[in-house]
């Protein structure tokens, strides 16, 4: 193999000889000086290394040009100037991130870094400024009361429990009587406060979370000792787990004959709630809400759990929080119940809540008395909204009216644009959820419904074995029966999808899912479920199929025609009936046939492609002939996205 002197290599590559020697030494060569000889095969390797070093130098140069060194955390207008941005644009961004800002105070380091990163700048902090600033911000945190929601099966005693807590504890506190209009209230136990959110059920609890409102710290799951774990109990449990909140089980009605608390514990252990006395970490309390027994024990357990959670919040500065409910009062105008998350809410504060804004004209406590301020975890009524905000909306105090108006106007524009696009929710589909994201493992949340428990167990077992290094699958909720509103609400709240195996998707639920942007997939063959998810994980997701209702017809007469079969003489009551459609046959509210295809559609004796509302027609189906007068034929077509 031919040899060549180093200085000749340097001339050939247009590189300084010392750089050639540095690269060779880095590659393990024992060259002595520029007169040393090397094999010709090194030349290509040297050239590649030289190109790589040039690229790295260019990257470092560009990185240095896009670097900002800071001696202190900047104020809002300072960072706007450094990043060449309008301060109003930064204000809107901070509001979108639910970041409290004060033009007179420095911004938190993480916020400064995120703003810079969006503009392709890198922040370098001098010494340990970043850590010191973060420590200073955390130093203002103080203990706050726990926020509790009561969930469970209907008739298991949720309302009775809340009433028992109100009557036994509110009278002992400074608040006096209670008003139920406020939707939340505080009690005092052993000189410590607990806030209860008065939601109507787990669907409302999750609907608020779907709007970004993670209010609850602890969920009380009420189960009747004489009835046991019921379908709504399981749904409530799954919703609480999806929200990642602590769960305390209140076994109610222990005074009734047939009460069996141990059976409840055994049933809930199957769902991952193992009692502490059995070696688990779930608190179980026996109570009788009607007889007011065990109420104090339950409240003490709530306080104990709150201590373990170490609930803290910033008590000083501008307030943030969540709208629990809102109403229109004849004398006060738009009024909303809020729970303060951080800071102190005061009369005279300007605030933004979603696309509306306002000024706090009055604050009312839970008993309707005027108060001057509200601290973290405290529920109060605010008077002063420009419009009614929906429940679950986040609110934040802004330093002046001009900025509050600006943010609200921008959010109104965004909502208008979103509605024009036809979707109010930013919920991803299966394909979007499983799209690759570099360096991050993604989790696909699934709400699973099946026709029988055996099918449900089989599909869940298979799903637990599907996954990849980039994507893991988690079954958030499972149940037997048709897909319902609660499934859609949970999917919207958790960025999940609904998978139904041999079950029905009612038209109203389908419309709601489409409106919320929730991906619902229906299957009849278990292997299709597996193949679809496996292909999606590999980046080959099949098109999503969904049913689109197109019209309804009522059977007015039944005809038996030789060689043709049974034909229903029908009257189209809404929409239209198409020849290529499928039909759902409904009799007295019960579905007799789910997916019979139309094989014959006639007007008088003529074959037609479709029949519109207000006209009569003859309809023949491929798998159904048992028509009766009064049957409803609901036509739908299968579409793909």
254 is in an annotated binding site: yes
Higher pLDDT, 530 or 360: 360
201 annotated as belonging to a binding site for a ligand: yes
* pLDDT score of 118: 81
Kindly tell me if the per-residue pLDDT of 308 is higher than 90. Answer: yes
Edge-to-edge strand ranges of the sheet holding 283-286: 184-189, 192-197, 147-152, 218-224, 246-252, 283-286
90 is known to lie in a ligand binding site: no
Mean pLDDT confidence for 166-188? 54
Measured distance CA(273)–CA(219) in Å, rounded? 13
Picking from 59-63, 148-152, 173-177, which range would have the lowest pLDDT averaged per residue? 173-177
Q: Is the pLDDT of residue 175 over 60?
A: no
* Whole-number pLDDT of residue 201: 59
pLDDT on residue 373? 94
CA torsion sign for 261, 265, 271, 276 is: positive
Per-range mean pLDDT, top range of 38-47, 75-84, 565-574: 565-574
Q: How far is CA 347 from CA 108, 253, 369, 374, 518, in A?
A: 26, 44, 14, 9, 40
CA pair distance 67, 65, nearest whole angstrom: 6
497 is in an annotated binding site: no
Rounded mean pLDDT, 579-594: 86
Q: What is the pLDDT of residue 314?
A: 86
- Is residue 427 pLDDT above 50, yes or no? no
Q: Is 157 annotated as a binding residue?
A: yes
495 φ/ψ sector (left φ>0, alpha ψ -120 to 50, else beta): left
What mean pLDDT do residues 472-483 have? Answer: 84
Token couple for 360: 């706090």
Would the annotation count 526 as a binding residue?
Answer: no
**Res. 318 pLDDT band, cuts 50 70 90:** confident
pTM greater than 0.85: no
For residue 448, CA distances in Å to 456, 479, 484 come to 8, 7, 11
The predicted structure's pLDDT at residue 178: 34
For residue 439, say whether it is annotated as part of any ligand binding site: no
More confident residue, 505 or 213: 505
| 60 annotated as ligand-binding | no
Beta bridge partners of 639: 546
Query: Residue 92 annotated as binding?
Result: no
Calculate the average pLDDT of the chain. 80
The reply to whether 147 sits in an annotated binding site is: no
From the CA atom positions of the chain, what is the Rg in Å?
33
- pLDDT of residue 145 exceeding 90, the answer is yes
b vs e for 490-510, b when ≥16 Cβ sit within 10 Å of the residue's Cβ? Answer: bbbbbbbbbbbbebbbeeebb
Q: Which residues, other chains included, contact 124 with Cβ-Cβ below 8 Å and sequence gap of 6+?
A: 67, 68, 69, 70
Please tell me the predicted confidence (pLDDT) of residue 18.
78
Q: Is 253 annotated as contributing to ligand binding?
A: yes
Q: What domains are defined for the chain?
A: 3-65 (1.10.10.2480), 67-139 (no CATH), 147-313 (3.40.50.300), 319-420 (2.40.30.10), 430-542 (3.40.50.10050), 547-640 (2.40.30.10)
- Known binding residue 575? Answer is no
- pLDDT for 449 beyond 70: yes
Would you state the pLDDT for residue 207? 61
Q: Is 457 annotated in some ligand binding site?
A: no
Residue 20 labelled as part of a binding site: no
Would the annotation count 532 as a binding residue?
no
Selection from 328-337, 362-371, 469-478, 566-575 with the highest mean pLDDT: 566-575
């Amino acid at each position: 193999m031919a040899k060549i002197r180093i200085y000749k290599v340097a001339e050939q590559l247009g590189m300084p000889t010392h750089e050639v020697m540095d690269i060779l030494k880095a590659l393990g060569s024992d060259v002595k000086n520029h007169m040393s000889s090397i094999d010709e095969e090194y030349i290509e390797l040297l050239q590649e290394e030289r190109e790589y070093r040039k690229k790295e130098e260019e990257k470092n140069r560009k990185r240095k040009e896009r670097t900002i060194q800071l001696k202190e955390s900047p104020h809002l207008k300072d960072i706007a100037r450094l990043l060449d941005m309008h301060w109003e644009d930064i204000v809107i961004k901070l509001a979108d991130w639910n970041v409290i800002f004060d033009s007179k105070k420095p911004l938190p380091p993480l916020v400064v870094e995120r703003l810079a990163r969006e503009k392709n700048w890198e922040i370098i902090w001098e010494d340990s400024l970043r850590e010191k600033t973060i420590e200073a911000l955390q130093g203002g945190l103080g203990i706050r009361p726990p926020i509790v929601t009561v969930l469970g099966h209907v008739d298991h005693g949720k309302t009775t429990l809340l009433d028992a807590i109100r009557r036994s504890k509110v009278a002992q506190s400074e608040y006096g009587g209670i008003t139920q209009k406020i939707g939340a209230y505080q009690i005092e136990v052993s000189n410590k406060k607990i806030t209860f959110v008065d939601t109507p059920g787990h669907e409302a609890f999750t609907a608020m979370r779907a709007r970004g409102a993670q209010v609850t710290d602890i969920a009380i799951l009420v189960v009747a000792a004489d009835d046991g774990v019921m379908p709504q109990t399981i749904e409530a449990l799954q919703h609480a787990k999806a929200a990642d909140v602590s769960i305390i089980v209140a076994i109610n009605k222990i005074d009734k004959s047939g009460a069996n608390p141990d059976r409840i514990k055994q049933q809930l252990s199957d769902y991952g709630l193992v009692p502490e006395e059995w070696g688990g970490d779930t608190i179980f309390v026996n109570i009788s809400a009607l007889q007011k027994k065990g109420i104090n024990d339950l409240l003490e357990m709530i306080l104990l759990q709150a201590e373990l959670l170490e609930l803290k919040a910033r008590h000083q500065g501008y307030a943030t929080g969540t709208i629990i409910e809102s109403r229109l009062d004849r004398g006060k105008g738009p009024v909303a119940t809020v729970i303060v998350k951080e800071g102190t809410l005061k009369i005279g504060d300007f605030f933004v809540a979603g696309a509306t804004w306002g000024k706090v004209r009055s604050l009312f406590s839970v008993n309707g008395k005027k108060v001057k301020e509200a601290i973290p975890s405290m529920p109060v009524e605010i008077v002063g909204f420009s419009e009614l905000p929906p429940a679950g909306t986040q609110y934040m105090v802004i330093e002046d009216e001009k900025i509050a108006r600006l943010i609200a106007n921008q959010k109104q524009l965004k909502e208008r644009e979103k509605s024009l696009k036809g979707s109010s929710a930013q919920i991803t589909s299966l394909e979007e959820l499983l799209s690759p994201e570099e360096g991050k493992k993604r989790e696909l949340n699934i709400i699973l419904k099946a026709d029988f428990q055996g099918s449900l167990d089989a599909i869940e077992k298979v799903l637990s074995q599907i996954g990849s290094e980039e994507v893991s699958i988690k079954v958030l909720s499972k149940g037997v029966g048709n897909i319902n509103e609660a499934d859609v609400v949970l999917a919207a709240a958790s960025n999940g999808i609904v998978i139904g195996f041999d079950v029905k998707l009612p038209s109203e639920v389908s419309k709601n899912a489409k409106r919320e942007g929730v991906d619902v997939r229906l299957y009849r063959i278990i292997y299709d479920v597996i193949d679809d998810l496996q292909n999606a994980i590999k980046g080959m997701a099949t098109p999503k199929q969904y049913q689109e209702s197109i019209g309804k017809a009522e059977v007015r007469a039944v005809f038996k025609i030789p060689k043709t079969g049974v034909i229903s003489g029908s009257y189209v009551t809404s929409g239209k009936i198409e020849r290529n459609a499928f039909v759902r046959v409904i009799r007295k509210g019960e579905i007799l046939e789910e997916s019979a295809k139309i094989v014959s559609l006639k007007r008088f004796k003529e074959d037609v492609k479709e029949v519109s509302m207000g006209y009569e027609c003859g309809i023949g189906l491929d798998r159904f002939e048992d028509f009766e007068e009064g049957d409803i034929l609901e036509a739908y077509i299968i579409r793909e996205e």
